[in-house]
């Protein structure tokens, strides 16, 4: 058999032409072959690509979680449902439903990530532009009440242009309201402590009657008591007597600090700042971390710390083990392999071990790789093993 190679396109069909050269000239349209057909038969359905938009109502097909898009990134999209629960989902072909139809959500071509964020209160933050203060006001009894309100709802209030002002005592509330002169365009909200039946604060509130004034409050004797004691590792706040052994009136704040054996100065900022827990910061509110009662029946017999909270303790613990001198600055360059072999029960004792594994020259300094091993006292396996990388510049 003789094989001939021609420089022109091969005609695959049967050839009946007397002029053989005509079989190898001109373009032949190929629509595929048997392997293409086989591969096509094995492919799943093809879904339409849909660029994600802020506020888009989406349902995850796997979990049936339905909510509005509140942010996205290279890793995935974040949804918030009508109960303000937030969940994160990866980008996946046909993974979401829009008006009952499966689609593939994709990032917009002109945007790398969503610019909106979730505020401390769980709402979607606005554009951050300065607002002219509205005529309406919110009054609270003292500066600690104002700070807590700002801490949780500050973003929302700034978006509306509402100013929060401390009353520094509510005994003359009726006179202060009359001087403020509320109206339909100048409304007033008042937040009082210990607003329960028969209390002094309730009697004060009853002296004000104006359709443009809303007086509300909490049942606690002090706003400090409105913060969950669990943020300080307590099951409940201690009982605080109204007077000391000498018959002197004692404020609830002072009595609390005395009962806990901590100085009054500086305690409030510490307590206030604990309102933003690690779960709040990361959006990870899984019950194994934050619900002690449910966690008791879970796989670990109680609540456990977030894995990434354990890892984040490295910068705090590592200076107790080693020190780096003679450098101008150091930066956390990232991490390699990270594993969480065993849990960290809430309340357990944790220690860190560090092994220096390599030091490499880089422009202007050195790259240092270390192995961090976190261990819970009495545990058979480490709780976290991580390869962490730092860069130091001279």
pLDDT confidence of residue 8: 34
Look up tokens 């509110």; give the residue. Answer: 285
CA separation for the pair 2, 15 (Å, rounded): 17
Do residues 342 and 382 make contact, with C-beta atoms less than 8 angstroms apart?
A: yes
Q: Which residues of the chain have pLDDT under 50?
A: 1-32, 34, 111-115, 276
CA separation for the pair 136, 116 (Å, rounded): 27
What are the phi and psi torsion angles at 241 (to 5°)? Answer: -70, 150
Q: What is the pLDDT of residues 313-323, one digit of tens each?
A: 888 788 888 88
CA separation for the pair 108, 74 (Å, rounded): 11
| DSSP three-state, residue 385 | strand
pLDDT confidence of residue 132: 85
Question: What letter would DSSP give residue 279?
Answer: H
The CATH H-level superfamily of 302-393 is Hotdog Thioesterase (3.10.129.10)
pLDDT confidence of residue 15: 37
CA separation for the pair 103, 125 (Å, rounded): 27
Strand ranges (E), the chain: 49-51, 57-60, 66-72, 76-80, 86-90, 96-98, 101-106, 137-140, 163-166, 188-192, 213-217, 329-339, 350-362, 365-376, 384-393
CA dihedral for 339, 345, 347, 348, sign (positive or negative): negative
CA separation for the pair 336, 351 (Å, rounded): 21
Do residues 346 and 302 make contact, with C-beta atoms less than 8 angstroms apart?
A: yes
Beginning with the edge strand found earlier in the chain, give each strand of the sheet holding 188-192 in spatial order. 163-166, 137-140, 188-192, 213-217
Look up tokens 């590792």; give the residue. Answer: 233
pLDDT confidence of residue 196: 83
pLDDT confidence of residue 207: 93
Strand ranges (E), 340-383: 350-362, 365-376
Residues 6+ apart with CB under 8 A from 366: 359, 360, 391, 392
pLDDT confidence of residue 331: 86
pLDDT confidence of residue 119: 65
pLDDT confidence of residue 343: 92
251-279 residues labelled b (16+ CB within 10 A) or e (exposed): ebbebbbbeeeeeeeebbeebbeeeebee
Q: What is the pLDDT of residues 378-390, one digit of tens each?
A: 898 999 999 999 9
pLDDT confidence of residue 108: 82
CA separation for the pair 144, 253 (Å, rounded): 11
Q: How many residues does the chain have?
A: 394
pLDDT confidence of residue 122: 56
CA separation for the pair 246, 348 (Å, rounded): 40
The whole model's pTM is what? Answer: 0.42
Q: In this structure, what token pair is assigned to residue 204?
A: 């004060």
Q: SS in 3 state form for 9-56?
A: CCCCCCCCCCCHHHHHCCCCCCCCCHHHHHHHHHCCCCCCEEECCCCC
pLDDT confidence of residue 332: 85
pLDDT confidence of residue 96: 94
Distances (CA, A) of 73 to 103, 111, 112, 123, 335: 18, 9, 7, 19, 20
- For 53, counting Cβ atoms within 10 Å of its Cβ (0-12 exposed, 13-18 middle, 19+ buried), the class is middle
């Amino acid at each position: 058999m003789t094989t001939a190679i021609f420089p022109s396109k091969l005609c695959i069909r049967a050839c009946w032409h007397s002029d053989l050269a005509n079989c190898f000239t001109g373009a032949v349209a190929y629509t595929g072959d048997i392997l293409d057909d086989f591969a096509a038969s094995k492919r799943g359905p093809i879904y339409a690509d849909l660029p994600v938009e802020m506020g888009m109502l989406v349902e995850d097909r796997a979990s049936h979680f339905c909510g509005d898009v509140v942010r996205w990134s290279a890793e995935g999209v974040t949804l918030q449902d009508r109960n303000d629960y937030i969940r994160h989902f990866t980008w996946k072909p046909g993974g979401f439903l829009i008006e009952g139809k499966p689609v593939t959500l994709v990032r917009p071509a002109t945007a790398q990530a969503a610019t909106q964020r979730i505020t401390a209160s769980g709402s979607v933050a606005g554009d951050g532009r300065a607002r002219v203060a509205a005529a309406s006001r919110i009054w609270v009894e003292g500066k600690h009440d104002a700070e807590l309100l700002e801490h949780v709802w500050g973003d929302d209030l700034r978006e509306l242009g509402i100013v929060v002002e401390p009353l520094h005592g509510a005994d003359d509330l009726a006179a202060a309201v009359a001087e403020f002169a509320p109206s339909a365009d100048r409304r007033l909200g008042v937040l009082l402590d210990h607003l329960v039946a028969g209390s002094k604060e309730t009697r004060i509130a009853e002296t004000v009657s104006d359709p443009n004034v809303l007086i509300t409050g909490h049942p606690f004797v002090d706003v400090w008591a409105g913060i969950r004691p669990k943020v300080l590792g307590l099951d409940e706040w201690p009982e605080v007597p109204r007077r000391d052994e000498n018959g002197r009136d004692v404020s609830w704040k002072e009595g609390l600090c005395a009962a806990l054996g901590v100085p009054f100065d500086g305690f409030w900022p510490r307590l206030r700042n604990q309102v933003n827990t690690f779960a709040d910061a990361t959006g990870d509110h899984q019950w194994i971390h934050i619900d002690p009662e449910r966690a008791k029946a879970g796989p670990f017999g109680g609540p456990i710390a977030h894995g990434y909270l354990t890892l984040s303790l490295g910068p705090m613990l590592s200076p107790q083990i080693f020190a780096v001198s003679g450098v101008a600055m150091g930066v956390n360059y990232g991490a390699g392999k990270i594993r969480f072999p065993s849990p960290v029960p809430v309340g357990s004792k944790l220690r860190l071990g560090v092994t220096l594994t390599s030091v490499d020259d880089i422009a202007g300094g050195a790259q240092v790789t270390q192995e961090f091993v976190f261990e819970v006292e009495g545990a058979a396996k480490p709780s976290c093993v991580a390869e962490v990388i730092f860069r130091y510049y001279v």
